[in-house]
Amino acid sequence: MSNKSIEEDELESYESHDEAEGDEIWLVSYSDMMTLLFGFFVLMYVFAKSDNASKDVVK
């Protein structure tokens, strides 16, 4: 039988679980940033298209 107690084994499993979550937490921020940038460029495109249409009406 191992020299480790059950509490030490549980503690190690919790620590390794926390490390695994911490390695991928940046992905949430990255995906939020990409979503916001996509939305920004879609709005820029829509406003650019509508601006050209209004110029044609004025001419």
Q: Residue 53: pLDDT band by 50, 70, 90 thresholds?
A: low
Is the per-residue pLDDT at 11 higher than 60?
A: yes
Is the per-residue pLDDT at 40 higher than 60?
A: yes
pLDDT of residue 30: 96
Q: What pTM was computed for the model?
A: 0.51
Is the per-residue pLDDT at 1 higher than 70?
A: no
* Lowest-pLDDT range of 18-22, 32-36, 45-49, 53-57: 18-22
CA distances to 8, 15, 29, 35, 58 from 22, in Å: 21, 11, 12, 22, 56
